[in-house]
A and B are shown apart, each in its own frame.
Chain A
Amino acid sequence: MIKTGAQILWECLEQQGVTTVFGYPGGAILPAYDALKYSNIHHVLVRHEQGATHMADGYARASGRVGVAVATSGPGATNMVTGIATAMLDSSPIVCITGQVGSKLIGSDAFQETDITGVTLPITKHNYLVTHADQVAQTISEAFYVASSGRPGPVLVDITKDAQQSTCDFDGKPIKPQLPGYRPELAPTPDEYKKALELIHSAKRPVILAGHGIILSGAMEEVRQFAERNNIPVGLTLLGLGCFPASHPLSLGMMGMHGEAWLNTTIQEADLLIALGMRFDDRVTGSLKTYAPNAKKIHVEIDAAEVNKNVKVDVALVGDLKVVLREMLPKLKSQDRHEWLGYIDRLKGDSAVRDIQNLPDNGHLYAAHVINDLWRETLGSDTVIVTDVGQHQMWEAQYFKHEEPRTLITSGGLGTMGFALPAAIGVKAARPEAEVWAVVGDGGFQMTMCELATMVQENLKVNIAIINNGYLGMVRQWQEFFYDRNYEATPLLSPDFVKLADAYGIRAVSVTRRSEVVPTVEMTRKHKGPVLIDFQVEREDSVYPMVAAGAALHEMIRRPNPLEETAGDA
């Protein structure tokens, strides 16, 4: 049957199981939009193309399915760049479809022409330029396969206007990807398995470093069995949160720059690190020179290019985590490690005393209170938290105890402010049955708050908790610690968020006291539509502990111990 490239595009997306796309129309993508009338795919009109990519990203992370964003050529496409880079660094499977000027005009600096395949070359897993209708089906099939297989990532498909308009014969049969050189998954050798098991069995002080790869591979159960069988404590990366239950006795919480002090010390004193689906990001390791100096290292990782990139390892098992762990589990011995686990317990030492939850109530509202109360209130329900980037993101990671995978969606690698609201909209579109909260700072929220309109137009209930401290808080904290409290360009004037929400027809309240937190969360959960809560928190609180950039992982700036402080004053 003769069809246009535009018609074939939507049919192929349907074949891939796509039900929702996030996009913004424009000249060069208009033929595709015109052909939407033949398709059952639901199109979400965003307010900015960056939002479309974050929505597709949130959709993908919440569901494990490929998220799709659509934009026109030129500025439409370049607006996607931040979202694509975000998905790239966090291995999120999205497919971005952009219109391009007619193939005859390419290279002529035509109106709204940008070489977007050139621009996105280093921030996509792969990208395509399609110049004729007969390439559309093959390209879409490959784009989805590449985006979702191996280590997932963003794929951009740039389709010229004439490719959308031209016709070819299309029988609607699924087309196989033709990617002769693509090797999404490798397998370790028997020798490597043997060496890894020997290292584990001879280790006295092992620790598992659990990352995002566990969630991407769906290996939560395998990791749990692995840790339990050999009694290995588990530390998590930011993106790994939820891959191992926070309430599990072997869980040590989050590691790294703002990780738990006892865990960072545990890593530094370990004699074996078992890195599962994580990539030794600098936020996790601190100074590489002093990182885990006495530890052997095993790296289980799907991407061979990650091996020995930052940290030199003793054994690398390159392959899919689930497959690798299943191979190892039958040969993994049970070992008694009560001495090591007891030692770690003692490391927790005075952390509880320093914890803000346990500080005497001074009448101020702290972000940690808000997050902790939100966690308690939503405990046991199907709740997904989407965070932006900054202090609130770290407090969420510390005080919201994630038990399940895909319940925390956050921009880890790129640290993209403005991520939360659009990503939360994508999460809600993917999982309408889930309770979705966007936890944002007053800074990041203002970067993409135009998407409030998208949320209302789509009738989606995303609850928004603004942790409002009147500063670009994390930058202010760095200025406090490392720039002599010179608060340059960090004090932040915000609009009246309650009035702003009102303008969009969203219910909103402002909260200034700790006692109001729980009732407001209760009200929000009961309310049928979305609710925005402006939590006006302590202005100059800092995230503790903190490993300064470039410092050794165990050299942490700690929250002052109130008891010691009192003793000093006296």
Chain B
Amino acid sequence: MLNTFVVYVENKPGVLTRVASLFRRRAFNIDSLTVGRTEKPEVSRMTIVVDADRDQALRVEANLYKLVNVLFVENITGKSSISRDLAMIKVSATHGTRTHVLELANVFRARVVDVAPETLTIEITGPEAKIDGMLEVLRPYGIIEMVRTGVVAMRRGVTKLDQVPAAAAVEDSAGSAAADDNVSYSV
């Protein structure tokens, strides 16, 4: 089953590699991995979706904690939470089909972000299933290009961030390279 982990890591160079390397080495199966900034500059946050049974999920957590730069791990699977994926879908839209595609976008509460003579580009945000659903209905019109960010997730209600140990403040000179890790990735 899919397990979703929220992982806080120190915002330092190479931390993403350490996490990715761990998953490869232990043969854990990553479904998606995203990483980005948090409200604290010295902390980055990952959302990792892993295909694992219960025991494996516990070992994923324990192994993540073995990485010295990992601050906090929470498996939010089955807990009340919000998860979102964002997709941009470039779909073929001719005179005859343009209205249909626009209607479908409306139904899914997606936004059209680019209009070209032969295509429409649609931005949609939502749980993965919603995006999968939209892709399904758009496919007959011809999907030309598609990109997804991978899932980001958050617990509902009281945030857990207070439990995250305080990371060392980002230094001015030495820490500048750290910004490299702060872009969003999806694996």
CA distance A402 to B183 in the complex (A): 55
1/0 per residue, CB under 8 A from A, across B42-79: the answer is 00000000000001001100110111111110000000
Q: Which of A421-460 contact B (CB under 8 A)?
A: none
**Cβ of A183 under 8 Å from chain B:** yes
Q: Please state if A134 and B174 are interface contacts (CB–CB under 8 Å).
A: yes
User: Which chain B residue has the least Cβ–Cβ distance from A306?
Assistant: B62
CA distance A118 to B21 in the complex (A): 10
CA distance A146 to B69 in the complex (A): 12
Note all chain A residues with C-beta closer than 8 A to B71. 180-181
| Interface size grouping (class) on chain B | 20 to 34
A478 to B: closest C-beta gap in Å: 26
**Cβ of B165 under 8 Å from chain A:** yes
1/0 per residue, CB under 8 A from A, across B150-165: the answer is 0000000000000001
Q: Which of B128-170 contact A (CB under 8 A)?
A: 165-168
User: Which chain A residue has the least Cβ–Cβ distance from B168?
Assistant: A178
Q: Please state if A305 and B167 are interface contacts (CB–CB under 8 Å).
A: no
User: Which chain B residue has the least Cβ–Cβ distance from A151?
Assistant: B66
Q: How many A-B pairs with Cβ below 8 Å? A: 58
B45 to A: closest C-beta gap in Å: 13
Q: Please state if A308 and B174 are interface contacts (CB–CB under 8 Å).
A: no
CA distance A146 to B66 in the complex (A): 11
Q: Please state if A135 and B174 are interface contacts (CB–CB under 8 Å).
A: yes
CA distance A134 to B69 in the complex (A): 20
Q: Please state if A126 and B58 are interface contacts (CB–CB under 8 Å).
A: no
Partner of B17, one of A118, A131, A146, A304: A118
CA distance A125 to B14 in the complex (A): 15
Note all chain B residues with C-beta closer than 8 A to A42. none
**Cβ of A117 under 8 Å from chain B:** yes
User: Which chain A residue has the least Cβ–Cβ distance from B8?
Assistant: A181
B173 to A: closest C-beta gap in Å: 8
Note all chain B residues with C-beta closer than 8 A to A307. 58-59, 62
**Cβ of B10 under 8 Å from chain A:** yes
Q: Please state if A181 and B55 are interface contacts (CB–CB under 8 Å).
A: no
Q: Please state if B168 and A308 are interface contacts (CB–CB under 8 Å).
A: no
Q: Please state if B62 and A304 are interface contacts (CB–CB under 8 Å).
A: yes
A233 to B: closest C-beta gap in Å: 29
Q: Please state if A122 and B59 are interface contacts (CB–CB under 8 Å).
A: no
CA distance A118 to B168 in the complex (A): 23
Q: Please state if A181 and B10 are interface contacts (CB–CB under 8 Å).
A: yes
A155 to B: closest C-beta gap in Å: 9
Note all chain A residues with C-beta closer than 8 A to B58. 307-308
**Cβ of A312 under 8 Å from chain B:** yes
A contact patch SS = loop
Q: Please state if A183 and B65 are interface contacts (CB–CB under 8 Å).
A: yes
CA distance A126 to B68 in the complex (A): 7
**Cβ of A303 under 8 Å from chain B:** yes
Q: Please state if B59 and A180 are interface contacts (CB–CB under 8 Å).
A: no
User: Which chain A residue has the least Cβ–Cβ distance from B58?
Assistant: A308
CA distance A181 to B67 in the complex (A): 8
Q: Please state if A309 and B59 are interface contacts (CB–CB under 8 Å).
A: yes
CA distance A125 to B67 in the complex (A): 8
**Cβ of A121 under 8 Å from chain B:** yes
Q: Which of B24-45 contact A (CB under 8 A)?
A: 25
CA distance A487 to B187 in the complex (A): 47
CA distance A317 to B167 in the complex (A): 28
Note all chain A residues with C-beta closer than 8 A to B98. none
Given contacts A122-B21, A180-B167, contact A304 B68 (CB under 8 A): no
User: Which chain A residue has the least Cβ–Cβ distance from B22?
Assistant: A122
User: Which chain B residue has the least Cβ–Cβ distance from A121?
Assistant: B21
CA distance A312 to B62 in the complex (A): 15
**Cβ of A132 under 8 Å from chain B:** yes
CA distance A90 to B38 in the complex (A): 38
Partner of B18, one of A121, A304, A308: A121
Q: Which of A98-139 contact B (CB under 8 A)?
A: 117-118, 121-122, 125-126, 129, 131-132, 134-135
Partner of B66, one of A121, A135, A179, A303: A303
1/0 per residue, CB under 8 A from B, across A405-419: the answer is 000000000000000
Q: Please state if B10 and A180 are interface contacts (CB–CB under 8 Å).
A: yes
User: Which chain B residue has the least Cβ–Cβ distance from A153?
Assistant: B66
Q: Please state if B59 and A305 are interface contacts (CB–CB under 8 Å).
A: yes
Partner of A305, one of B9, B63, B69: B63
- Of residues B8, B68, B70, B165, which shows the largest number of chain A Cβ atoms within 10 Å of its Cβ? B68
**Cβ of A482 under 8 Å from chain B:** no
CA distance A178 to B13 in the complex (A): 16
Q: For the A-B complex with A181-B9, A181-B69 known, give 4 more contacts whose Cβ atoms are closer than 8 Å.
A: A131-B174, A180-B10, A181-B65, A181-B67
> Nearest 5 CB-CB pairs, A to B?
A181-B71, A180-B165, A305-B62, A304-B62, A126-B68
28 A-B pairs with C-beta separation under 8 A: A117-B14, A122-B21, A122-B25, A125-B66, A129-B13, A131-B174, A135-B174, A146-B68, A178-B168, A179-B68, A180-B168, A181-B8, A181-B9, A181-B65, A181-B67, A181-B70, A181-B71, A181-B72, A182-B68, A183-B65, A304-B62, A305-B62, A305-B63, A307-B58, A307-B62, A308-B55, A308-B58, A312-B55
